[in-house]
Structure 1
């Protein structure tokens, strides 16, 4: 057994090929290639009969292996994420977007790539609030986001009822979301939050928050996603397809809010491309924010 030593924490843990594979995939390398490289590293260590090794030594070996495979850009990214982890820089990543655009899938994959354990959906926040607050008190939170307008009385005549109802739901759910953001920030742990209720202007963000608005190209693309999702979940596609025009209207509203607040908009055509877009943006944005605090990444 190979034991990994962390001199700073004074801990010893068994070497994990899975953890090494995950750290390599954070560079955008395909998981199959990452696993193959991790396997090569294990084989080399066993051949050399290495029993104890430090995290920094593993980092150096992995970096050289990436270069050997001609993955120069991936090697640079590997050093970036490794150094960022050493700084213990907590991130709060928020993935907004209309129903069905692929936020949950992106959040799960992003969490795997970055080694983030906490992933929270705003639907979960809404469900908790539903259990705590009766329908009589807050009817807007007790239905789907695109049907909230039906629960409201005295909707002003000069506004879009759909957006008015959606904003009403968002206003209440944002109280819980902001509490999650504040807790993550104060306790310093990495968190990914995804959901339709992440609307720019309603959230209290900070220098460690990174928000992205996820979209789909067309109504047809969204419909296809609903039927694909129904294959693996209990959510019937027909329920969403019946309301698909309203969902697209909400997407238009979310895109408008994202543009107003300078939030990056990502058209989610292919999972890997979307993940790489987010991670590339993080690699550009994080050093800027660190520099403002007088911190420079050594890569």
Structure 2
């Protein structure tokens, strides 16, 4: 067994090929290549009969292996994310977007790449609120976001009923979302929040928050996603396809809000491409925010 020591934390843990693989995939390298590199490092350590190694020595080996594989950009990213972990820089990543655009899948993959354990869906926040607050008191939260307008009485004149109902639901659910953001910020732990209720202008952002709007190109692409999702979940595609015009209308509204508040818009065509777009943006934004606090990354 190979033991990994951390002189700063004064800890000793068994070497994990899986953890190293995950660490390497944070660079955008395919998981198969990352696993292969991790396996090469294990063989090299076994060949040299290494029993104890530091985290820094493993980091240097992984960096060199990435370079040996011709992955110069990935090697640079590898150093970046490790430096960020060393600084203990907590992040709150928020993925907004209309129903069915792939927010949950992106959140899960991002969590894996970045080693983030806390992933919260705004639908979960809404479900908790439903259990606490009756439908008679807050009818807007007791239905789908694209049908909330049907539950409201005395709608104001000259408003878009669909968007008015959606905003009504968002206002209530955002109370819970902002509480989660505030707690994550105060306690300093990494969190990913995803959901349709993450609307620019409603969610309270801070210097550790990074928000993205996930979109699809058109209703045909969204419909295909609904049928694909139905293969792995209990949510029937027909229910959403029947309301697809309303869902796309909400997406148009969200795009306008994102542009108004300068939130990056990620068209989710392919998972790997979307993940890389988000992580590349993080690599651009985080150093800027650290610099504002007088901290320079040593990479």
User: Which bin holds the TM-score, normalised by the shorter protein?
Assistant: over 0.9
TM-score by length of 2: 1.00
TM-score by length of 1: 1.00
Q: Which runs of 5+ in 2 are unaligned?
A: none
1:268 offset after TM fit, Å?
Answer: 0.1
1:9 offset after TM fit, Å?
Answer: 1.1
1:8 offset after TM fit, Å?
Answer: 1.2
Computed over aligned residues only, the root mean square deviation of the Cα atoms, in angstroms, reads: 0.4
SS of match in other structure, 1:107: helix
Residues 240-283 of structure 1 show CA distances to partners (whole Å, capped at 9, x for unaligned) of 00000000000000000000000000000000000000000000
Which residues of 2 match residues 131-170 of structure 1 at below 5 A? 131-170=131-170
Tell me the equivalent position of 2:91. 91
Q: Which whole-Å CA distance do the structure 1 matches of 2:285 and 2:183 have between them?
A: 23
Tell me the equivalent position of 1:295. 295
Aligned length: 299
Tell me the equivalent position of 2:129. 129
Residues 70-127 of structure 1 show CA distances to partners (whole Å, capped at 9, x for unaligned) of 1000000000000000000000000000000000000000000000000000000000
Tell me the equivalent position of 1:248. 248
Q: Which runs of 5+ in 1 are unaligned?
A: none
Alignment pair present for 1:72 and 2:72 = yes
Tell me the equivalent position of 2:212. 212
Q: Which whole-Å CA distance do the structure 1 matches of 2:30 and 2:203 have between them?
A: 34
1:157 offset after TM fit, Å?
Answer: 1.7
Q: Which whole-Å CA distance do the structure 2 matches of 1:146 and 1:157 have between them?
A: 19
SS of match in other structure, 2:147: helix
Q: Which whole-Å CA distance do the structure 2 matches of 1:165 and 1:8 have between them?
A: 53
Tell me the equivalent position of 1:47. 47
Tell me the equivalent position of 1:28. 28
Tell me the equivalent position of 1:191. 191
Tell me the equivalent position of 2:263. 263
Runs of 4+ with >2 A deviation: none
